[in-house]
Chain A
Amino acid sequence: MVRRRVRFKDPWIEQRSFTRRAVVGGIVATVLLAGVALRLFWLQVVQHDHYSELSQGNRVRLEPLPPDRGVMFDRKGRVLAENTPAYQLELIREQVPDLDAMLARLIELRLVEASDRDRLRRLVRSHRAFEGVPVRVQLSEEEIGRFAVHRHELPGVELKTRLARFYPYGPAAVHALGYVGTLSEADLKRVDVEQYAGLATIGKTGIEYSYEATLHGTVGHREVMVNAEGRSVEAAGRGGLPLRQREPEAGNDLYTTIDIDLQQVAEKALEGKRGAVVAIDPWSGDVLALASLPTFDPNKFARGISGPEYRALIEDPDRPLFNRVLRGIYPPGSTIKPMMALAGLEYGVIKPEDRRRCPGYFHLPGSSHRYRDWRKQGHGSVDMHEAIMTSCDVYFYGLASTLGILRVHEAMTKLGFGAPTGLDVDGERGGLVPSPDWKKKAFKRKEQQVWFPGETVITGIGQGYWLVTPMQLANAAAVIATRGRHFRPRLVAAVRDARSGTLQRRAPVALPPIELADAANWDSIIEAMVAVTSGPRGTAVVASRGAPYRIAGKTGTAQVFTVGQTEKYKESEVDERLRDHALFIAFAPADAPKLAVAVLVENGGHGSSVAAPVARALFDAYLLGKQPVPAATPVTNAPPARPAGTTP
């Protein structure tokens, strides 16, 4: 046992001990670095001849072998994205007598875009003189022919094949699948550069972006013979030794939740309009269709989009690149009325049989401001069921102001509004459920931070600051359809491991269910939603006429601009871009829901006439197997057949 004693800090002893050890440290450092120097002496002086010889004979260099990107399938196993051979033109600087003249000639032959001239000149100059630089990727058959004819006057320009991403359905589902595009400086910062050696493209949006790591695979290497200047030379082997090769590992295949038939039905139904359609299987969160219109051809990006083409897409006033489903935010309008009613029932503020008189307007006590009903003459006396069926505004103005904004905010947040739904693809926006707290943070000026009772009133019919994405609307419809069961929406259902070939299914992700104090409230709401499409005064009866199943739905109309107190909104007089957005949420069959849908048509006017028929087309296709349009067959022959506009 060591003798116990009280010890004190002794600065002098400490200093002496430190000095001693610092000296030892200095000596150790010197000795070890001298050891490194000795090792260097061994390599550079003693072994110099050996290594010099190795360096002289260093004729073998590692060349990357890019992996095959994983294939994407739809839920029935149809190929949505694959890799097909593509032809590209490569230019070898040292074999071209005059680079500028050659580029001019290529432009003349319409093999290279004139606007690309400066970029290409820089690109070619930034590579070694003997390296082939791709100046044009994915040539069409006709262009290949044109090149063949003029080949003799184009020394140093070669036709090469490589694999390129190809989307057989062209523009279909592009906002879900995303696309691959040219690897940029910014992309190289977020990935392991070594893994992208020899590759020109990377996932840019959608599944292609979010599942990049899964789809990509692992790069391989092979040894190539090079001469003293580093040029590759053909040779059988290195002094009789065979050249070694490590094969790349292909990326994993993805089974998406998309049903390409349904997807095409959705896109066909919205053709010529701007809008969004989402269809979800409410019992798993599988997104069967995700359409944002207008759409565009991802093959353009995969084969290297030209400057003018890209500019045209960006400057298009209809914004085809914009993902309206995930990033478009709109006032929900009357579509949220069933959910408001549910909140009213749940908080005990109303009973289904309570009646309210609708004279065509509503005003707060002590205020003369009239909040108008969409139906000028009013709906008379309505109970909850009738209020949802006829979409009576006055009923919900009253309900919202009784509930108060805090309870509205709480209930709507529970239903998934105000935050991204958690779809497994990046870029989803959260929208906004207004509240006094939010207003305090959002506005700078004191007088703007106050929450007015009138703002609660209009929240009751989904107007005001309230903003939702079509994705959130579909998600909420699915939650109602399952009576509170909640699954995180997803686009990828299974991954096939490239190495083992095993298919790994992913179980649906269940989120905490919404439990009501009285489960019968679900039934009251759903019955009212069924009445919307089949009741005597339902706002969407057109949509369900002749359907052999019951549809529960709700129409909505979101104001784009505000009509003054004394003015009247007349559709025909308003500029098309300022017309109301048409909305419709629905699920069917109402008794055993299989599909939940949200439809948005920008500036479409009323939800009943424009948006509801789109949902009907989806239900018919999914539940009855009806194809209102002949299903488009994918283009199976890859380029050189030009893949532009692949769906006939």
Chain B
Amino acid sequence: MIYEELNVSRARRTMTATAQLLRALHLDGPLLVSLGLVVGFGLLVLYSAAGENVSLWTNQIIRFGIAVVAMTMLAQVPPPWLRMITPWLYAIGVVLLVAVAVLGDIGKGAQRWLDLGIVRFQPSEMMKLAVPMACAWYAHYRPLPPSFRDLLVFLLIILVPAGLIAEQPDLGTALLVSAAGGLVVLFAGLQLRYLLGGAVLAGIAIPVGWHFLHDYQRQRVLTFLDPQTDPLGAGYHIIQSQIAIGSGGVFGKGWMHGSQAQLEFLPERTTDFIFAVVGEELGLLGQCLLLAMYLSVIGRALWMANQCRDTFSRLTAGALAMTFFIYVFVNSGMVSGLLPVVGVPLPLFSYGGTSMVTLLAGFGILMSLYANRKLVSS
């Protein structure tokens, strides 16, 4: 005992001021550095992609500032509190989704926003955090691995909001929310036989689900299978994005020198297709460097999750880490033509406010769980 305390105090004395500050704020140094590298890289590329529109760039910095504040604040919330408010957060989210469905504001052709007077709020964004937390909350009170009945409960927790979001229609977010919840179930120890059974069911569900897709959603899948069918519409994105990446080569055409991006051949170059700008201007090296940065974020987050000592913390943290990976994979896969075009931004990189705030808020939660990993009793 005494020996340990001595050790701790010595460690504390030798800590640098920065480390002390981080510790006091419950922030994790290595994760912060990885996140900072990604965001810094992102701002660099966005500056080039935005062309002469500097206000877009400054907007992104402001949003980043807001997101950092959100992250730091959430890192201060003790895990038991997080666990306590989870069911409420989830319930509010579902109510808001219903409200959007009933009286939402039609923004950009889809009913996703709720006009709260001052701000327009997208409840589906909040569910990206609330759904995995709700699953982890349920798992926390159940013996694991989950029984069949538990699985049904998980399914209900996930599918109610996912269904409401898919109705908006926002298939991309619905899939991400389902994936986040599904990851919790996987981490909770879902038996292999259920996993295989689920895969078989999904195989059956695909042709059935096809009938429930909106026309434009079907179009996206068809376009993915053969971009040339709609070269002036959705296919244009994929074709131009591959030309941008492919013409970049190993070293790229140089920062601010991508002809595809600078001459506006590449659509959505500041948002969903910014990864193609990296490819064109900074080449294979730039893109691999970025993927490595993302991998370091994911690895560190998974490691932190594994250090947590209670079920809720561990599952939430693990799901947040892997959701982040899914974002990276889906976006980079879509831009490089491996996956169909779904509206998923490149995390912490694409221009756009809500997703940046949600992501860093998630990492704030993760840091709080990690900082208090040993204090929590289950």
Contacts and interface: CB of A to CB of B under 8 A. Distances in A.
Interface residues of B, number: 63
Nearest to A11: B378
Interface string B270-313: 00000000010001100110010011001100110110010100
Given A9-B143, A19-B306, A51-B246, A26 B299 contact: yes
A98 interface: no
Interface in B308-363: 309, 311, 314-315, 318, 321-322, 325, 328-329, 332-333, 336-338
Interface in A14-59: 14-15, 17-19, 21-22, 25-26, 29-30, 32-33, 35-37, 39-41, 43-45, 47-48, 50-52, 54-56, 58
B80 interface: no
A54 to B, nearest CB: 5
A36 B329 contact: yes
Interface in A568-606: none
A226 to B, nearest CB: 7
Nearest to A230: B263
Contacts of B283: 44
A626 interface: no
Interface in B128-180: 142-145, 147
A113 interface: no
A17 B263 CA distance: 52
A29 B246 contact: no
A22 B318 contact: yes
A29 B108 CA distance: 33
A33 B187 contact: no
Contact of B187 (A8, A11, A18): A18
A54 B243 contact: yes
Contact of B288 (A15, A37, A56): A37
B298 to A, nearest CB: 5
Contacts of A439: none
Given A17-B144, A40-B336, A22 B243 contact: no
Q: How large is the interface on A (under 10, 10 to 19, 20 to 34, 35 or more residues)?
A: 35 or more
A37 B279 CA distance: 11
Q: Is the interface of B mostly helix, strand, loop or mixed?
A: helix
B259 interface: yes
Interface stretch (B13-21, B62-70, B247-255): B247-255
A359 B155 CA distance: 79
A61 B263 contact: yes
A515 B308 CA distance: 67
A7 interface: yes
B344 to A, nearest CB: 14
Contacts of B298: 26, 29
A228 B295 CA distance: 37
A22 B247 CA distance: 37
B318 A9 contact: no
A48 B306 contact: no
B264 A43 contact: no
A43 B242 contact: yes
A33 B294 contact: yes
Given A54-B247, A55-B243, A25 B287 contact: no
A160 interface: no
Interface of B: 52, 106-109, 142-145, 147, 186-187, 189, 231-233, 236, 242-250, 259-260, 262-265, 267, 279, 283-284, 287-288, 291, 294-295, 298-299, 302-303, 305-306, 309, 311, 314-315, 318, 321-322, 325, 328-329, 332-333, 336-338, 378
Interface of A: 7-11, 13-15, 17-19, 21-22, 25-26, 29-30, 32-33, 35-37, 39-41, 43-45, 47-48, 50-52, 54-56, 58, 61-62, 126, 190, 192, 213, 221, 223, 226, 228-230, 244, 246
